[in-house]
Amino acid sequence: MLLAVTAQGSPVVLVAAVFLASAVEMVEALTIVLAVGVTRGWRSAFEGVAAALAALTALVVVIGPPLVHWVPLSTLRLVVGFLLLVFGLQWLRKAVLRASGLKAKHDEDAIYAEQVAELSEAPPATGRDATAFTVAFKGVFLEGLEVVVVVLTLGTSSHRLGLAALAAAAAVVLVVVVGLVVHRQLSGVPENSMKMGVGLMLVSFGTFWAGEGVHVSWPGSDLAIPVLVAVYGLVAWVLVTMLRRGEQSRMSGRAGVGSSIDA
């Protein structure tokens, strides 16, 4: 029974991590594409998106299978575990700073407005719009590279590359459908909460696989991953609370100094 639960637990966490990471990146890419389409026209914007998605798919197809079949599993998990720790800690650091108020939250409305302003200043196109194609391609490709990294690292290390790719594809389809229906920037998406969750999952996977790479025997095998998520989540909550209280104390001290000067 324990083996059955263990076998089912890891794919669920894998799908959740890949899906959330892909959704976050695609929301940012969609904001750029919407700005391009509204400002410069949809044909060239869609062509740029299609070219970027084709390039990203090719990267997964070309790089993924050799990693699975030729690199020893212990080596692969050690290297990937380290990369996921670095990658996840970056996400987690930004999410903690934003949650504590020390860093401004990601504002899709501001990004949309800035992108529209820049595109409006570009000269109008005759025929195919190279500006629209390039901006849409770069927006989707650069944001998508992070998705490719997540898919390759999580998918190859768990030997579930196909499942990871399907989770990423599902996130892309969902974000695109929502974007077409809403037809505006997705500023209402709780992006920082999603980034916090993704950061916790990536760091947990990184810890787990780096440990397996050096032959650590985790209690409960894959069941250790949800425990690691909970532990890192507790640490993140403590950090957010401490930083928020420190910021409040600092602001109160400034207010007190200002009041004394005015007096």
Residue 64 lies in a domain: yes
Residue 257 lies in a domain: no
Do 118 and 30 contact (CB within 8 A), yes or no?
no
Distance CA 206, CA 79 (A): 9
Domain count along the chain: 1
Do 205 and 225 contact (CB within 8 A), yes or no?
yes
Residue 194: what residue type? M
Residue 43 lies in a domain: yes
Residue 256 lies in a domain: no
Q: DSSP for 96-110, please give it.
A: HHHHHTSSPPP-HHH
For the stretch 12-66, pLDDT in tens is 777 888 888 888 788 778 878 888 887 777 888 889 989 998 998 888 888 777 7
Residue 45 lies in a domain: yes
Distance CA 30, CA 180 (A): 10
Global pTM reads 0.60
Q: Which domain holds residue 74?
A: 2-247
For the stretch 82-107, pLDDT in tens is 877 887 888 788 888 888 877 766 65
What does the pLDDT read at residue 5?
Answer: 32
